[in-house]
């Protein structure tokens, strides 16, 4: 898989500033961070009962 270099990151940052504006970028980053955190919590929350269920069914 190709890696993103410094030049590509600069271009992406410049496009984000042009598209969203410098005032909205912190709010956008904050909402993306919250979304990722909630997604990770949901994944961890679902995996724990599933593991417990598998352990209970294999013990029988």
Q: What is the pLDDT of residue 52?
A: 61
pTM higher than 0.85 for the full model? no
Confidence of residue 11 (pLDDT cuts 50, 70, 90): very high
Q: Give yes or no for residue 41 having a pLDDT over 80.
A: yes
Separation CA 17–CA 22 (nearest Å): 5
Of residues 32 and 59, the one with the higher pLDDT is 32
pLDDT-derived band at 35, boundaries 50, 70, 90: very high
Using alpha carbons only, how large is the chain's radius of gyration in Å?
20
Domain boundaries, the chain: 6-59
């Amino acid at each position: 898989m190709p890696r993103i270099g410094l030049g590509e990151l600069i271009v992406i940052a410049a496009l984000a500033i042009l598209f969203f504006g410098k005032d909205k970028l912190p709010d956008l980053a904050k909402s993306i961070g919250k979304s990722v955190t909630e997604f990770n919590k949901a994944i961890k929350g679902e995996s724990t009962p599933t593991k417990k269920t598998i352990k209970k069914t294999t013990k029988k």
